[in-house]
Amino acid sequence: MSWQTWESRLRGVRLWRLLLLGLTMLVLAVALPSCSLDRLRLENFRTQATDVPRLISTVLGEPKTFNYLLTQESTSTQVLALMYEGLIGIDQTTSEIIPALAESWETSEDGQTITYTLREDLQWSDGEPLTVDDVVFTYNDLILNEEIPTDTRDILRIGAEGKLPTVRKLDGRRVEFRIPEPFAPFLRVTGIAIMPKHALEESVKTKNSEGQPLFLSKWGTGTDPSTIVCNGLYVIERFVPGERIVFQRNPYYWQTGPNGEQQPYIEEIVWPVVSSQDAEFVRFRSGDADLMTITPDNYGLMKQYEAQGNYTVYNGGPTTSRLFLTFNLNKGSLNGKPVVNPVKSAWFNALEFRQAVAYAIDRDTMLNNIFKGLGELQNSQIAPQSPYYAESGLPVYDYNLEKARTLLESAGFEYRGNQLFDADGNRVRFTLQTNVGNKIRESAGAQIKQNLEKIGITVNFQPIDFNALVGKMDTSMDWEAIVLGFGAGVEPNSSANLWLANGGLHLFNQQPAGAGPMPGREVYDWEQSISDLYVKAAQELDEDKRKALYVETQELVQENLPFIHLVGQYSMSAVRNKVENVKYTALGGVLWNLNELSLTEN
């Protein structure tokens, strides 16, 4: 995930504010004793270097790796976004491509050759030169290396055959990318982080006893941070599991201010590790954080005390993130055992079942009760900010219990009293999971459980640890239904590995990474069509035709419901007024222009 945050507008009354204040006092009463030791540690930490400009921002959960190409979860992604840059960047106010490590680029008339020119005198965080050789190594030896199982490779695949680009050095500052056919999103794709050849080459060449590159175990969370070499704004100075991550300004970062002053201006960033959004809220309110994500639950209180608390609530408009319910449609087996109970698999794979569930979820109530009206119903996997979003004409599943029951009965299900049974007499019940600590997802899951009871379906709702959830989706595939979200972004191809039939994040019908064809796994015609359309849309250079292709994918997703889209929040954050030059957007959040942020006492 990116630096995405929630936005909202207050539609409360005085009674609601009083109730919210009462609930907040209850949260504080419960949470403060458990946070007192953390606060003491943080205060001791602050006194060690009181003159260092320091930004404190909590992080929900811990990173699983510091290896950019092996990360699959949001906390690691957030950490590594501070540490690495690619050839290009994105202006998050305009979504335009801007120079980063490459100062310029040229594209051939046929669109199949892109030549980048690196900035002069680039350096790694250890002072070593950053050169074209590092770019070639990153692509040829890491990303395009089939021995390294990285999802990053998926976003470089081009055409129906998934061909990959070729990368070669032209001279000391120029590197050439050749692609086998036109690929509209290619320039944006080259924002992939460049990795240090001198620090990683040996780990790629050397194999362990199982014949795997040592790179696969390189730079885990137990690594001495001083040995991790990066090229971004910050380096990791310290990681204390369960407590905090401390970043120090990269002394060799290339970007400078208008008068030649070193950027970033903020010398140190501290990320206390918290277990929930409630803990994040407590830290900010008690002064132990400089910014926080706003949720519908705490918007009213945060807005009310904005002036008194000396912070600003930034409103960035509708979020690009998608919140959805998905069923495990995988009919395959691992180690001779079906990943989903065949009885339940038959339910999940029945389109009428998924449509009935969609009709049974009261999204208007979800919007009003969970989101406090501070959001919008979602009906597409593509965000409204994208030029490829379908403004109208998509199938919509408004709350309708009668339609839900009729669909179930047409598919052979039957009611015995208030309980639903399939044609073989099996009572319909399944387990729904999400990541613990995310209040919105937990509340959405709880409401879905209640809603589905009205059509006779029993739901066992289980919020679990996020890393455990990722393991279920990625490795064991032992799950039935999940409430989850993903950042859609403006360019739909950035989510291609979610929609390609064999993509690394095709979670609703996952093919195991690095394995051969999965026994019993089937790909539906509509599923393959979505996959093919994503390929065609990436090949198409005419923008009107690209949009038509992506509209068709949105229609297929809504017709077949691999995802049942729910509600999206508005994007909003609270930031201490001592943080200057904030350019908040829904696309980039608070920190997208971190190099320009500065701190002042006020």
448 SS3 class: helix
| Residue 383: its H or E element | none
Give which of 318, 301, 326, 283 is closest to 508, Cα–Cα.
326
Tokens standing for residue 353: 């079942």
Q: With pLDDT > 90 as the criterion, what percentage of the chain qualifies?
A: 65
Spatial contact of 126 and 190, defined as CB atoms under 8 Å apart: no
Handedness of CA 216, 221, 223, 224 (dihedral sign): positive
List every span in the chain annotated with CATH 3.10.105.10: 321-569
- Residue positions counted in the chain: 602
Characterize the bridge pairing of strands 458-464 and 429-435. parallel
Model pTM score: 0.71
| Residue 592: its H or E element | none
Cα separation of 462 and 433, whole Å? Answer: 5
Spatial contact of 389 and 546, defined as CB atoms under 8 Å apart: no
The whole-number pLDDT of residue 42 equals: 45
Q: What is the pLDDT of residues 546-564, one digit of tens each?
A: 999 999 999 999 999 999 9
Return the higher-pLDDT residue of 601 and 259: 259
Q: Please provide the DSSP assignment of 246-310 as one string.
A: EEEE-TT---B-TTS-BS-S--EEEEEEESSHHHHHHHHHTTS-SEEE--HHHHHHHHHTTTTTT
CA dihedral of 32, 37, 40, 45, whole degrees rounded to 10: -120
Give 278's pLDDT tier (boundaries 50, 70, 90): confident
CA atoms within 13 A on the CB side of 31: 20
Question: Phi, psi at residue 434, to the nearest 5°?
Answer: -155, 180
Cα separation of 353 and 257, whole Å? Answer: 57
Q: What is the pLDDT of residues 571-594, one digit of tens each?
A: 999 999 999 999 998 888 899 999
The whole-number pLDDT of residue 34 equals: 36
Spatial contact of 137 and 195, defined as CB atoms under 8 Å apart: yes
Spatial contact of 43 and 122, defined as CB atoms under 8 Å apart: no
Cα separation of 515 and 512, whole Å? Answer: 6
| Residue 463 reports pLDDT greater than 90 | yes
Q: Please provide the DSSP assignment of 397-435 as one string.
A: ----HHHHHHHHHHTT-EEETTEEE-TTS-B-EEEEEEE
Spatial contact of 76 and 64, defined as CB atoms under 8 Å apart: yes
Question: Angle formed by the axes of helices 14-46 and 296-304, to 10°?
Answer: 80
Q: Is 205 exposed, middle or buried (0-12, 13-18, 19+ CB in 10 A)?
A: exposed
Task: Please calculate the CA angle 539-504-551 and round it to the nearest 5 degrees.
Answer: 40
Cα separation of 564 and 448, whole Å? Answer: 11
Chain mean pLDDT for the chain: 88
Instruction: Give how far Cα 526 sits from Cα of 100, 530, 566, Å.
Output: 39, 6, 21
Give 157's pLDDT tier (boundaries 50, 70, 90): confident
Give 514's pLDDT tier (boundaries 50, 70, 90): low
Give 602's pLDDT tier (boundaries 50, 70, 90): low
Q: Where does 478-521 have alpha helices with state H?
A: 496-499
The whole-number pLDDT of residue 44 equals: 46
Question: Phi, psi at residue 491, to the nearest 5°?
Answer: -90, 110
Cα separation of 481 and 219, whole Å? Answer: 33
The whole-number pLDDT of residue 11 equals: 28
Spatial contact of 451 and 420, defined as CB atoms under 8 Å apart: no
Q: Is 22 exposed, middle or buried (0-12, 13-18, 19+ CB in 10 A)?
A: exposed
For the ranges 114-123, 380-389, 492-501, the one whose mean pLDDT is highest = 114-123
Q: Is 399 exposed, middle or buried (0-12, 13-18, 19+ CB in 10 A)?
A: middle
Give which of 260, 244, 247, 266 is closest to 578, Cα–Cα.
266
Spatial contact of 497 and 469, defined as CB atoms under 8 Å apart: no
- Give the architecture-level CATH label for domain 321-569: Roll (3.10)
Cα separation of 406 and 416, whole Å? Answer: 15
Cα separation of 298 and 313, whole Å? Answer: 12
Give which of 422, 425, 420 is closest to 349, Cα–Cα.
422
Q: What is the pLDDT of residues 6-55, one digit of tens each?
A: 223 222 322 222 222 233 332 333 333 334 444 444 444 444 445 678 99
How crowded is residue 436: how many other Cβ atoms within 10 Å of its Cβ? Answer: 18
Q: Please provide the DSSP assignment of 460-527 as one string.
A: EEEEE-HHHHHHIIIII---SEEEEEEE--SSGGGGHHHHSTT-TT-GGGPPPTT--PPTT----HHH
Cα separation of 327 and 482, whole Å? Answer: 7
In the sheet with 102-107, reading across from the earlier edge strand, the strands are 102-107, 113-118, 174-178, 166-169
Cα separation of 297 and 295, whole Å? Answer: 5
List every span in the chain annotated with CATH 3.90.76.10: 83-202
Q: What is the CATH number of domain 83-202?
A: 3.90.76.10
Return the higher-pLDDT residue of 4 and 223: 223
The whole-number pLDDT of residue 242 equals: 86
Q: What is the pLDDT of residues 295-340, one digit of tens each?
A: 888 899 999 999 999 999 998 888 888 999 999 999 999 988 999 9
The whole-number pLDDT of residue 305 equals: 93
